Amino acid sequence: MCGIFACYRHPDVQKFKPTALKMGKAVRHRGPDWSGNWIANNTILVHERLSIVGVESGAQPLVNEEETVSLAVNGEIYNHRILRKGLKTPYNFKTHSDCEVIIPLYLEHDIDTPRYLDGMFSWVLHDKVQDRVIAARDPIGITTFYLGRSSQTPGAVYFASELKCLHPVCDDIISFPPGHVYDSKTDKLTRYYDPKWLVEPDSIPTKPVDYKELRTTLENSVRKRLMAEVPYGVLLSGGLDSSLIASIAQRETVRLNELAKKQGATNGTNGDAGLVGIDDHNELSTVQMLPQLNSFSIGLPGAPDAVAAKEVADFLGTRHHTLTFTLEDGLNALSDVIFHLESYDVTTIRASTPMFLLSRKIKAMGIKMVLSGEGSDEIFGGYLYFHNAPDKAALHKETIRRVGDLHLADCLRANKSTSAWGLEARVPFLDKQFLSTAMNIDPAEKMITKDRIEKYILRKAFDTTDEPETAPYLPEKILWRQKEQFSDGVGYGWIDALKDRAEIEVTDEMMKNPKPEWGSDVPDSKEAYWYRCMFDEHFPPYCASTVRRWVPTWSKQTDPSGRAISTHNQKYDSTK
């Protein structure tokens, strides 16, 4: 991840520059490797860089040869090599950065530029000749992005990766909607990501599941996300989703290392840990050995996830690291977690705290990029409350709603918990092609029945029982393990401790007298009240409009924990 801040048409941009640099500094944790800025007309772009691809030559903002187009990007463009080859007009690239291709794409495709990109991204591009800004966010909102305005500078528009570098200069802030592009010519946001499954939720797919296609598409998604020039790893909770990602990544690492050995024998060279990249055919390629794949898990002592993760790591042969945290460690980190998350949603904070602690440890080991399993539960109806889906149409619409809200929940958690320490998380389940495959399957295939556990079709796609020539992807007990939400799986004592501390911090009298500035967004539990108070210590009231509090559909529960769902397997309670 990187951090960006930009202001378009500031009335006095030179005078504003020191403030803009200060706002950029507020997200330096996202990009600790280099800082840059660019001013053209009355627009300033500020960039804090985390170098993953084009390490030595990809400093930003990026500027074309004529210095008429400048660009600040947070993210990764996986198909940049293909896009470079497909340009109609030759372009003199200055860097090896995967992001620089956005400039010539803009020169050829204008406002349609983001439609061509395969990746996760938030970017601001300034055209000096037209004095025009175009900004865009990836289809699902994997990267965080905000748009702001100020009553003190009417006509100016501000953009940033996080709230903390907007609220000091803006009094009107929104979460930049995923899959949209902003054009200063019209001063409007327009949807560019418009697949039928997303924009026509009443049109229920009828396509039968193709297990081979489902497996192959996810494998390709993981493969392209191994594009990196730095050490990387996988977050491994021991649940189905992260375990599948780890399994595919490990297979790919082994395959590429075997290929590198053959090439080395042919060339008479030895391959050391080195580069991985996407070639001109959108295939992962390497000519050097990759390091052993590192996997990481976290939990309280004896937590369900930590035990399962170790079993998966041993099965796959990854170099596994288990971090144990105490209840006090987690409680002490809460204020920092909420500052980085910029949210007061209960389930997001519960799950983010262990991830925040783990990310710090991972970065200290020299790892700069990790793969993570977010998105699968939303796509396949994997949360336990989906047991209560009344029919396939209702299930399909709920999966669409949940995927559409990912940027306010799990994507926000994954992005900000990791980037707080200069670590980048990539999420293969949210690949555009994989989404197209999975969201166009007849939702009847995703229904949970007496014969089908949640995410049955995903599990079945990677079940090689009937394929003797194919090595198993996972141990059977992991492949068919019941859903365990991350905030539960790190140890049930974690959520219980949060509730207990909230009882101490928030009195009954406080619950009866919520703050007037909260309006109708009143916390419904002492835990939620406590988090909202910590949020208010960091952010002004108008920032609350960017937060979404979540509770499950088809359920009367008020606690978002999976453990509160009646269908949760009681065997896990023995690990309390």
Residue 274 marked in a binding site: no
Spatial distance between the Cα atoms of 524 and 509, rounded to a whole number of angstroms = 14
Helix (H/G/I), strand (E/B), else coil: 69? strand
Spatial distance between the Cα atoms of 401 and 376, rounded to a whole number of angstroms = 14
Residues 6+ apart with CB under 8 A from 443: 204, 205, 381, 392, 393, 395, 396, 399
Instruction: Tell me the two tokens of residue 462.
Output: 């990677």
Residue 235 marked in a binding site: yes
Return the half-sphere exposure (C-beta side, CA atoms, 13 A cut-off) of residue 385: 21
443 prior amide bond cis, ω within 30: no
Spatial distance between the Cα atoms of 102 and 223, rounded to a whole number of angstroms = 22
From the candidates 2, 165, 170, 411, give the one annotated as an active-site residue.
2
Dmax (CA) for the chain in angstroms is 76
Q: Of the candidates 505, 553, 554, which has an alpha carbon nearest to the alpha carbon of residue 525? A: 505
Residue 98 marked in a binding site: yes
Spatial distance between the Cα atoms of 303 and 387, rounded to a whole number of angstroms = 25
Residue 408 marked in a binding site: no
Residue 411 known to be catalytic = no
- Asked if 156 and 7 touch (Cβ cutoff 8 Å), the reply is yes
Residue 323 marked in a binding site: no
Instruction: Tell me the two tokens of residue 516.
Output: 């007037």
Residues 6+ apart with CB under 8 A from 267: none
Q: Please tell me what DSSP assigns to residue 424.
A: E
Spatial distance between the Cα atoms of 104 and 64, rounded to a whole number of angstroms = 8
Helix (H) or strand (E) holding 137: strand 132-137
Hey, how many other C-beta atoms are within 10 angstroms of the C-beta on 520?
5
Catalytic residues: 2
Annotated binding site: 98, 235, 298, 372-373
Annotated binding site for ATP: 235, 298, 372-373
Annotated binding site for L-glutamine: 98
